[in-house]
Amino acid sequence: MKTAKIFSLILSAAVSSSFVTAYACNAEDKETGTEYRHEREIEYYESDHSLSTNNDGISLRRNIYNIWGTLDYNNFVEDIEYDNVIIDQIVVEFTVSGIGKDSELVKSDGTKEPYYAWLCGSVGTNSQWTLEDAGDGAVKINGDGNYTAVWNVKDASESVECLILQTNINYFPYTPKDIPDDEKKPLDGTANITVKKIKTLTEGELLSGDSNLDGDVSISDAVRILQYLANHEKYYLSDTAKKASDVFGDNDGVTAMDANSIQKYDAGVIDSLPET
């Protein structure tokens, strides 16, 4: 019987309440025939030390989740939870400040290349590191302003091993001139990248019973409904999620009976949802 399992899942969710994923109201939910676009916001805390540089010691980056980094170089960061379902896209909205109107990297040989920001790291079986790897998901940086970087993941994942917002912005031109080059540190400068929002977008047909909108119907969806019923504010369900959750009672809204139907479906007691 799954009751004990569900209870332990709820308990573990409650214990890790400081890092509970927020299910944001989704203004971008679009219904186009049977196609939906699900948006789920990932809770994020920006630690003071997460601004750093790439291994080249020059290129600014904001570490989002990087337990491979070392403490002394400000790269060891856990600002989102490891346990995050990622399907189709990771979208990071961020602000660049302190570089004025600069839009180009001036290399040591005098040649120039545009400033870019892109997402890199390792998410399940997906990994990308370079600007080339990031492809269309990279965003060109034209001075201070707000930007969005996207990572189109090939395979769905339930974990984030490493996630970094990397740029090719050289921090040296943005540090005080009276500090010797060999003593300059990234945080001495004005150049800054601040993450405003992280979300995942999933495209595809809305599945009856898929309360957490991860593209699959499982016991975690029943848990998601019970969490919502216990605390609407903390465990918010978007309108799309409510629609997916209402699988029992002829459109009577989200109740414990809907969670019950999903448990029965998961256990093979019934073979389709909604339960009629």
Q: Which residues contribute to the site for Ca ion (CB under 5 A)? A: 210, 212, 214, 216, 221, 246, 248-249, 252, 258
CB of 81 to Ca ion, least distance (A): 17
CB of 249 to Ca ion, least distance (A): 4
Give bridge partners of residue 51 from the DSSP assignment.
Answer: 62
Tell which residue, 13, 10, 232, has the closest CA to residue 245: 232
Surface-to-core class of residue 184, CB atoms within 10 Å of its CB (0-12 exposed, 13-18 middle, 19+ buried): middle
Q: Least distance to Ca ion from the beta carbon of 17, Å?
A: 21
Choice between 179 and 256, CB closer to Ca ion? 256
Measured from the CB atom, the residue of 25 and 229 that comes closer to Ca ion is 229
Q: Look at strands 116-123 and 139-140 and give their pairing.
A: antiparallel
Answer for the pair 219, 266: CB distance below 8 angstroms, yes or no.
Answer: yes
When CB distances to Ca ion are compared, the closest residue is 249
DSSP letters spanning 245-263? H--SSSS--S-HHHHHHHH
Q: How far is the CB of 216 from Ca ion (least distance, A)?
A: 5
The two tokens of residue 44 are 């994020």
Reduced to 3 states (helix: H, G, I; strand: E, B; else coil), residue 252 is coil
- Compute the least distance from the CB of residue 88 to Ca ion, in Å: 14
As to burial, measured by CB atoms within 10 angstroms (0-12 exposed, 13-18 middle, 19+ buried), residue 1 is exposed
Q: Which is nearer to Ca ion, 58 or 257 (CB)?
A: 257
The residue among 10 and 58 lying less far from Ca ion, judged by its C-beta, is 10
Cβ-based nearer residue to Ca ion, 102 or 266: 266
